[in-house]
Structure 1
Amino acid sequence: MSLSMDWVLQQARPVMPVLVIDDVALAADLARALFAGGVRVMEITLRTPQALDALVEIRRELPEAILGAGTLIHTEQFQEARDAGAQFAVSPGCTPRLVAAAEDAKMPFLPGVMTPSEVLVALEYGYRSLKLFPANGTGAVKMLKSLKGPFTGIRFCPTGGITQENLLNVLRLPNVACVGGTWIAPPSLVRARAWDQITQLAIEARDLAASLEHSA
């Protein structure tokens, strides 16, 4: 099945967990805990030496999950991530070399932007699903509202600063497809193997989003 980034973000709503995994032995259990809470889409960031092995493990143990590789900042990482089982790629920025690497690896790509000029660059490459990074507090909400006017049809996944407390304020914006967040699987709970608590955090996020949809 050929995936599009727009479809991936639709499946990820309300939240795409941003996972920093430094122990491969915990990777599959972590993914299963999130999946039990209704999370289908997960981003494994390539911030640790174990990240690619964690991708391989989750792909093998939970093939139903939709897995992305995040924090891709070098061109060679795209093919490495694809070989490890990633189905899409996420980067904190958008450069010609990264765009070319995503195309060469034939991976749906979610490039990061922060300013209108960066949105224009991404648009020139044909990207209409974008990551807003960093998305900190009320500033991110103001930026997203400002971007809505000139950039119709663009859908954002704000990441970096999204929490359970500000989730609804961001999700209710019409140009937000989903959010990326680390709070749903914090390292402290992962190290403690608190899988039930992680599942509960996933359920709570989905329930919050459902309350928003029902009140619309």
Structure 2
Amino acid sequence: MTAIKDIMHTSPVIPVMVINRLEHAVPLAHALVEGGLKVLEITLRTPVALEAIKRIKAEVPDAIVGAGTVINQETLKQAVDAGSEFLVSPGVTDNLIDAALKSGVPILPGVISPSEVMRLLEKGISEMKFFPAEAAGGIPMLKSIGGPLPQVTFCPTGGVSPKNAAEYLALKNVACVGGSWMAPADLVDAEDWTEITRRAKEASALSA
């Protein structure tokens, strides 16, 4: 199992994918991987998300496929059973984190405060998702947290866009960012895989 730290350093941007139609899963994954974004987060917000993870795992061998919106032990088990190579949660609870550590599948848990960061450090976790990034104070907040807690590395997600992604990636305590601008719903619905690949190439050229 690849460590979450290595996954975070694979690509500067992790696409956050909402898949509404199962037939879009594989071509969308191919388009993003072709553009240089190998780490894919499939959010568990749609009925087809788990099957989408299975299909991408089977048919897009270069992709590192993870599950997002993992919020409790039930969704964690479903994500692991589907073959997720990593897990992403919007927040933290002791039950969720303990179950994730027990599963052996790396998790990127969401935090917005120093207290949450310290709780995770006590459990041996030093890689975290900063979510919702812009709403929670954005770049100034990450700089402030980095002062007393320099051992933590973040993936800011939520409000990150082409306009501010490079600024986030320039921070010492940021390894990558998460976002959906490479594959917005209108492009996916239109099956415009060429434009999605073009956006992915632009995103993969950003440097952390």
- Band of TM-score, shorter chain: over 0.9
Is contact 1:137–1:162 with CA below 8 Å preserved after alignment?
Answer: no
Relative to 1, partners in 2 of residues 1:164 and 1:138: Cα closer, same or farther, differing over 3 Å?
A: farther
Q: Aligned residue for 2:140?
A: 142
Q: Aligned residue for 2:45?
A: 47
Q: Point out the more displaced range, 98-107 or 60-69.
A: 98-107
Q: Aligned residue for 1:109?
A: 107
Give the paired residue count. Answer: 208
Q: Aligned residue for 1:66?
A: 64
Is contact 1:185–1:198 with CA below 8 Å preserved after alignment?
Answer: yes
Task: Mark the runs of 5 or more structure 2 residues left unpaired by the alignment.
Answer: none
Percent identical pairs in the alignment equals 48
Q: Aligned residue for 2:8?
A: 9
State the AA in 2 paired with 1:61.
E
Relative to 1, partners in 2 of residues 1:63 and 1:114: Cα closer, same or farther, differing over 3 Å?
A: same
Q: Deviation string for 1:150-198 (max 9, x for gaps)?
A: 1112100000100011111111001000000011111110000000000
Q: TM-score, normalised by structure 1?
A: 0.93
Residue 95 of structure 1 and its aligned partner are, at CA, apart by 1.0
Q: TM-score, normalised by structure 2?
A: 0.96
Runs of 4+ in 1 over 4 A off after TM superposition: none
State the AA in 1 paired with 2:197.
T
Taking the aligned partners of 1:89 and 1:125, their CA distance within structure 2 comes to: 16
State the AA in 1 paired with 2:63.
A
Which is richer in helix? 1
Residue 63 of structure 1 and its aligned partner are, at CA, apart by 2.0
Residue 123 of structure 1 and its aligned partner are, at CA, apart by 0.8
Taking the aligned partners of 2:181 and 2:123, their CA distance within structure 1 comes to: 32
Q: Deviation string for 1:136-158 (max 9, x for gaps)?
A: 17931000110111111210000
State the AA in 2 paired with 1:191.
D
Where do 1:132-171 residues align within 5 Å? Answer: 132-136=130-134, 139-171=137-169
Q: Aligned residue for 1:128?
A: 126
Task: Mark the runs of 5 or more structure 1 residues left unpaired by the alignment.
Answer: none
Is contact 2:112–2:136 with CA below 8 Å preserved after alignment?
Answer: no
